[in-house]
């Protein structure tokens, strides 16, 4: 959770990962001590991530926004990681974002840093759209780019460090990052530009198809 005012992170907190989103989210949000009627716009990380976690997070923010009669901005977790990582890089550098997707796979996207300031949409040029695959398959899919100078960021970088090293690519070890503040800053800029949505219009960025859908197709094929 985070509270952003005038482009500045006022408060940012990590959630209790030992508890499920449904168990912890209401209380953790209340702990921020914010009157929801005083919030101008709500922001939510729209994914990619776990199906249940995304649904709970988005539904919670939708509910708060509906009660407060405010708009919502949905932000990609992949872009938020890239925005944070870009602070230490320069225009023209590339960032490969890997978020742990479990099952031996990573959620990924590839960006090039542009001339915009951090947290603005103009900061990043998306070279490869969000996808999910095994680490080595992701590297192969990006083979058209010179990845030797690419910085890799995200929580899956350390987990799949061996896979990166076997390809001879430079590995950038990233410490765990809190994304809520970045999501809030990005949403604040977009809201100032009028790039907001009604609460019910926010859709999760799943990337991976639901297991239930895949199972139905397999059953039908049989």
Chain Cα centroid distance, residue 126: 14
| Predicted pLDDT at 105 | 95
Backbone angles phi, psi at 112, to 5 degrees: -115, 135
Tens digit of each residue's pLDDT (9 = 90 or more) over 116-161: 999 999 999 999 999 999 999 999 999 999 888 899 999 999 899 8
Tens digit of each residue's pLDDT (9 = 90 or more) over 178-219: 999 999 999 999 999 999 999 999 999 998 876 666 667 777
Beta carbons within 8 Å of 58's beta carbon, 6+ residues apart: 44, 46, 74, 202, 204
Instruction: Kindly report each contact of residues 112-117 with a partner whose C-beta sits within 8 Å and lies 24 or more positions away, as own/partner.
Output: 113/86, 113/89, 115/91
Predicted confidence (pLDDT) at residue 27 exceeds the cutoff of 80:
yes
| Predicted pLDDT at 12 | 94
Tens digit of each residue's pLDDT (9 = 90 or more) over 71-105: 999 999 999 999 999 998 999 999 999 999 999 99
The domains found in the chain, sorted by start residue, are 2-77+178-221 (3.30.420.40), 78-166 (3.30.420.40)
Determine the Cα–Cα distance for residues 107 and 47; give it in Å rounded to an integer: 10
């Amino acid at each position: 959770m985070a509270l952003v005012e005038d482009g500045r992170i006022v408060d940012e907190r990590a959630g209790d990962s030992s508890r499920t989103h449904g168990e912890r989210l209401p209380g953790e949000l209340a702990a921020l001590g914010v009157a929801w009627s005083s919030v101008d716009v709500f922001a939510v990380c729209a994914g990619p991530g776990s199906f249940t976690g995304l649904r709970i997070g988005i539904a919670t923010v939708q509910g708060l926004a509906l009660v407060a009669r405010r708009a919502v901005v949905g932000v990609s977790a992949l872009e938020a990681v890239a925005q944070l990582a870009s602070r230490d890089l320069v225009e023209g550098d590339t960032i490969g974002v890997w978020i742990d997707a479990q099952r031996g796979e990573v959620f990924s996207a590839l960006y090039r840093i542009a001339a915009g300031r951090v947290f603005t949409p103009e900061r990043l040029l998306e070279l490869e759209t969000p996808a999910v695959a095994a680490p080595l398959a992701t590297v192969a899919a990006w083979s058209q780019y010179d990845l030797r100078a690419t910085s890799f960021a995200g929580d899956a970088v350390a987990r799949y460090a061996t896979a990166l090293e076997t390809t001879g690519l430079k590995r950038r070890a990233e410490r765990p990052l809190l994304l809520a503040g970045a999501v809030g800053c990005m949403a604040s800029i977009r809201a100032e530009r009028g790039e907001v949505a009604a609460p019910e219009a926010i859709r999760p960025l799943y990337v991976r198809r639901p297991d239930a859908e895949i199972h139905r197709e397999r059953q039908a094929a049989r």
